[in-house]
Structure 1
Amino acid sequence: MSNEVSLSKKKSKKGIPGSLISIIVVLALGAGIFMLFRDTTPPTISISPDTTELGKASTVTVKVIDEDSGLKFLKIEAIQGQKRILLWSKNFTGKIMQTEQEIAIGENAIKEGDFTIEITAKDTSIYPFGAAGKASAERAYTLDTTPPRIFVQSHTNNLNQGGCGLMVFALSEEAPKAGIQVGERFFPAYLQPGGNGKFVYQCMFAHPWDTSVADFKPFIVASDTAGNSAKRSFNYHTNARTFRRDKINLSDSFMERTIPEFQGLVPNQGSLLDQYLYINNTIRKENRAKLVEFSRETSPTMLWNGPFARLPNAANRARFADARDYMYQGKKVDFQTHLGLDLASLKHAPVPAGNDGKIVFADFLGIYGNVVVIDHGLGLQSLYAHLSSINVLKGDMVTKGQIIANTGSTGLAGGDHLHYGITVAGIPTQPFEWWDGTWIKYNITSKLD
């Protein structure tokens, strides 16, 4: 009996029987083999960008994913003619499920012209013997390292500070971005039809009122589809202008009358003055940004003809670029620049369209009240503000002298008048110039002949 107990204890000390261990090992090996053989899906490869033209500064991004067994090998090559150029390769260790590589094209031995990016990738699967784990992809590109050449055609450019001008230039190729850069401001140029194989552009640009003559340095700039950029200066002369200073006295009664028109746009907190200053600053900036947005809805060709029409029998009030100090109870509380002409006539006087064009906005616009904006082409637009009524709709075509609205006192207006503005690429400019047929002839239309 004691011997049987002893044998039973010995058996329990041995633990799991050998046959069971063998079964576990076989199962583990089987599971491992299954994991290796079950991956029959090759890695997925993506290549960007989708564009076909690349420049010297361009990059190609390759992304490879294998979510089953993981990546084993990746090779990126460029094929140009009979030549293969190794751009990048790597053997992976560990469980690498995806990788993304950015290749700088200009840093390799690829020459200008057509070439192909070819990708070869393998994962760690062995079914059947690795064939299912291979993937390849390719994409054709053209390398263009030559920037556009700029040919100046308008050799005489006379401007006034706050005024504008027209530049005509040609490019050696069509460019998605072309225009004149003035500091941080960009004035787009527009490709003209009927160039007889030439890429001729017209560009309305301005010497902004807030840029001194010393700081005014315009450049023609152009970028092609491959991202190659060119920049060129040109001959010009500009005249400094001195703008008036003015004071606006704010009263509680004026603010009580105007602020309710901005209901829903102004936080209902703080004093009357706090709310007015919010309108005069924050909303003013938003409204001026809208003028830049409107300028993008422009015709690539001129829609207008001849001098612009002026509000009949109107007296000049505030001038363009008047520097205004806002006073409240004897103290200066704000400063803004008045970027248009205030013209006073009879109450609710009919407002004529300054010239032929297309209505791009006809609605309420913050500090300007009820507004009409007419596009005249090439980014040139006229603005009619503080209107009591509007007679046109967005999308309407209008002719010079056509009655589009009536004067009023909506927005931040102290009384019935027309705020008349001229913008180029959304930047306010001096309206006086556009009433002067001689100025238009020598500075605009003569360059089109």
Structure 2
Amino acid sequence: MSQSVSYTVDGDISVVTVNNPPVNALSHHVRQGLYDCFTAAAGDDTVATILICDGRTFIAGADITEFGKPPKPPHFSLPLNAIESMSKPVVAAIHGTALGGGLETALCCHYRVGVPSAKVGLPEVHLGLLPGAGGTQRLPRLIGARAAVEAIATGSHIDAATAHAAGVIDALVDEGDLLEGAKTFARKIVSEGATLRKVRDMKEKVTGVDPAIFETARATATKARRGFKAPLSCIACVEAACTLSFEEGMAFERQMFQELHDDIQSSAQQHIFFAERAASKVDDMPNDVELLDITRVGVIGAGTMGGGIAMNFANAGIPVTLLEMNQEVLDKGLGVVRSNYERTAKKGRLSDAQVEERMGLITATLNYEDLTDVDMIIEAVYENIDVKKEIFGKLDEVARAGCILATNTSTLDVDEIAAVTRRPEMVIGTHFFSPANVMKLLEIVRGEKT
């Protein structure tokens, strides 16, 4: 047996447990361990087998440390086939997230239970890929073509309640009682004489599907993700699930996966994925550093940049106090923010209620005294060192102790700005890229005393 996968027997139920911290990724030793343990479970005299994971989550996907390296055996299909071909019911017990290969593993089980906080999904499209182990063929057989296209082509996560209603999860069990709940479920279906529900054999939801579903999905994806190949390939694979046999659909999925895998788009999207992860790690920052709570933010300047920064925080649900020196400029800035939100609503990306909710998080003011209770203040005025130093001198007088004072400057000396305050250790550069409410990139500049 693998060190990361164990096999135990509890009376009439066998349990296969994955323990590969931190997210139980499908490393080569996990794949081997799954195959070995299910091979062992196939030969015992138990009536059902539970697949469960230790730690904070179910199998959360592929092992990203193996990306771009020569593949290590066994191939993922080996354990999946071992699970699906079991002659007794296999129940996946899901907590945390079952993503990518994790959900594909669960779809090879005959039944799935989960806790209410669990989420499932097939997010490979964000890496320029598609689910390559049957996800595009099995998921439509459970939830139908329209829902499968939405889930796979967008890579969105599905919460447990929605997954339960759609049929991905067969039963919800109490938080903190997953294993016992899964055993109870397994014994119940065995006592009721339930058949082995192989998703691959389900045909009802992939038969007689309206082709317009796929045409509409392609038009939507072409508009929303212009130039990206993976969403269209995902749609094509779901369509294949509705027009071809399971075996033919799997072959088509493998072909589409390989084409995307070999394409430069996938390489680029994976580079971005790893770069974003690396950007969140500061080399000289201890792991035990205490984070400051940011519950309310102040932004100085209601121009294009300041308004965009305010939207950025409102989008995250953080209240913003937006300060300007002139009422006319302030009103104009708020008008631009509202028009940006309303334009997004017209595209169907926000509801009217969400527009009002986000506008309600932005409080306009002409008074520095209204910034006394915020946790962070970001200055976003034009690039003039004297103006910025004057602003930071005022902020030093009104901001509470412990408040972060940030400048959005792209070229000026953060240390020179910090020097006008009595708290240079709380001054930092936060260089947002325009439009700040859209661009993810944020350059953080530490001063000498930050």
TM-score by length of 2: 0.18
Structure 1 or 2: more helix by fraction: 2
Q: Which has the larger radius of gyration?
A: 1
Structure with greater strand share of residues: 1
Which fold has the larger relative contact order, with Cα–Cα distance below 8 Å and residues 6 or more apart in sequence? Answer: 1
TM-score calculated relative to the size of structure 1: 0.18
